[in-house]
Amino acid sequence: MKIKHVQHLYWRIGFGILPTELEKLSRKNKKAVVNNLLNASKTITPLKLDTSELDDLLSGSYEKTRENIKKVQTISRQKTKELNVAWVDRLTGTKELLREKMTLFWANHFVCEDNNYVYSQQFHNTLRTHALGDFKDFVKAISKEAAMTKYLNTKQNRKQKPNENFARELMELFTLGVGNYTEDDIKESARAFTGYSHNLQGNFVFRKRQHDEGSKTFFGRSGNFDGDDIINIILENKQCAKFICEKMYRYFVNDIIDENHVNSMADVFYADYDIENVMRYMMLSDWFYDEKNIGTKIKSPIEFLVGIKHTVPVNFKNPKQLLYIQKLLGQILLNPPNVAGWKGGRNWIDSNTIVMRLKLPSLILNNAYISKAKKGTSDTVMETKKQGFKKKFGKHFKTESDWNYFNNQFKNVDINDLGNHILACGMSKAAGEYLKTLSKLSKQEHCVQLMSLPEYQMC
């Protein structure tokens, strides 16, 4: 397999590839490389923190007092921050690379958040469990998650007063897309999901007395449908396969849709709704490696951060600062902006975030300072420690960078060839001229220089 094709594959289904692994994989053919990725992701390793204190609070003897509610909320906020950091660490060093990248993808598809950490962690691991499995089972599992029944109000969906929130988003955002259903379809399907709820521990509970047992007419078919029946009927429509494949294509291939390629993916997906099969098809397709698809996508903030940490392991002594960076870049894991999630693409970049991105590698890898932008200014003011930073305008990043790891991984790479490993796309003439003005005293220094280029924003 061509070196640049292996690199492209690993930028899209991961966060880059180090020279030592690249050398081994470049000797294999495409099928072997793809099978290696898929086989490594057969394993499912849940990401869990210690929730014993919350479990005790939410036990059968739980009393809904103001004090207990406050305790649950306080612990949940702290645990959610810890899960954010643990997730970034998992993405940085996982062996189940494709499963973890797919979990990140699905988190921005089945968008959900909850202020109860037990429910949030459970939902997060449901994404991971089904990330490469049967999509029909996946949708049904999501519909029964405690976090989702709260987030989209299915818990309040009763036969006397149906709540249409989940039914609407199920079709609009999760399966079909806008314009492929009617308002009557929403109303009728909402009736089918009546009675969906959960207990205090987050386990699904079907409250039969609250379920509408009457006949519903959905997509021209009538019957005493429940929620699973509605999902079965939706997936019989090939538009569902196409809708999901369009989102996969934009995320893994190109923001600009190629209808022929998406349709070919949809044909594969519609046959059995097996997520692993359609991902295999995509990764083995020649068009996936077309020049027009290489190095043309803007990295999300998480892809940007994890990519840096993958190349040069960096540890934040104060984990809150990792969340602070995510906030500045515009993507905080486990805290989506709304039910539609992050838009992605060019929306990741504006006048503030691009300045932040260009400065960030030197800031976190050189243990420097970063300041907050004053209100009314368009740019974020940033200075390094050596430039006389004024502490009252910013905060100090305390980090530890493992440059020994970097040096071991890149020991056989010539300093002049470093750009071919760090950057996913070709370098512009302006960037090349700029680099010529800088001294390359070491691979370490040149790595930071390359990460500070606009080209590093692409994957």
Q: How confident is the model at residue 256 (pLDDT cuts 50, 70, 90)?
A: very high
Best CA proximity match to 175, nearest among 205, 219, 209, 206: 219
Distance CA 84, CA 64 (A): 28
Residue, of 386 and 337, whose pLDDT is higher:
337
Distance CA 453, CA 434 (A): 9
**pLDDT tens digits for range 85-135:** 999 999 999 999 999 999 999 999 999 999 999 999 999 999 999 999 999
- Phi, psi for residue 158 in degrees, rounded to 5: -125, 160
CA distances from 199 to 60, 147, 308, 318 (A): 10, 11, 41, 36
Distance CA 278, CA 269 (A): 5
| Average pLDDT of the segment spanning 412-425 | 96
| Average pLDDT of the segment spanning 337-345 | 97
The answer, yes or no, to whether residue 392 has pLDDT greater than 80, is no
**Token pair recorded at residue 232:** 């079965």
Distance CA 252, CA 453 (A): 22
The answer, yes or no, to whether residue 446 has pLDDT greater than 60, is yes
Distance CA 334, CA 107 (A): 8
What residues contact 74, with CB distance under 8 A and at least 6 apart? none
Query: Which pLDDT score is estimated for 440?
Result: 80
**pLDDT tens digits for range 163-199:** 999 999 999 999 999 999 999 999 999 999 999 999 9
307 and 447 Cβ atoms separated by less than 8 Å: no
Best CA proximity match to 17, nearest among 29, 27, 26, 6: 6
Q: How confident is the model at residue 375 (pLDDT cuts 50, 70, 90)?
A: very low
326 and 104 Cβ atoms separated by less than 8 Å: no
| Average pLDDT of the segment spanning 430-439 | 88
Query: Which pLDDT score is estimated for 381?
Result: 37
Distance CA 456, CA 435 (A): 13
Q: Greatest CA separation found in the chain?
A: 76
Query: Which pLDDT score is estimated for 60?
Result: 67
Residue, of 392 and 317, whose pLDDT is higher:
317
Sign of the alpha-carbon dihedral angle for 266, 270, 275, 280? negative
- Phi, psi for residue 110 in degrees, rounded to 5: -85, 75
Distance CA 132, CA 144 (A): 19
Residue, of 436 and 170, whose pLDDT is higher:
170
Domain boundaries, the chain: 3-40+237-293, 52-236, 301-457
pTM value? 0.94
Q: How confident is the model at residue 65 (pLDDT cuts 50, 70, 90)?
A: confident
Mean residue pLDDT across the chain: 92
Q: How confident is the model at residue 366 (pLDDT cuts 50, 70, 90)?
A: confident
Distance CA 304, CA 297 (A): 12
For the chain, percent of residues with pLDDT exceeding 70: 93
Q: How confident is the model at residue 59 (pLDDT cuts 50, 70, 90)?
A: confident
155 and 119 Cβ atoms separated by less than 8 Å: no
**Token pair recorded at residue 174:** 């999760």
418 and 447 Cβ atoms separated by less than 8 Å: yes
Radius of gyration of the chain (CA): 24
Helices marked H in 131-226: 135-143, 146-151, 165-169, 183-192
Query: Which pLDDT score is estimated for 57?
Result: 86
The answer, yes or no, to whether residue 338 has pLDDT greater than 70, is yes
369 and 383 Cβ atoms separated by less than 8 Å: yes
The answer, yes or no, to whether residue 140 has pLDDT greater than 50, is yes
| Average pLDDT of the segment spanning 222-239 | 98
Q: Which residues pair with 447 in a beta bridge?
A: none
The 8-class DSSP code of residue 128 comes to H
- Region of poorest pLDDT, from 146-160, 356-370, 429-443: 356-370
What residues contact 438, with CB distance under 8 A and at least 6 apart? 449
Query: Which pLDDT score is estimated for 372?
Result: 45
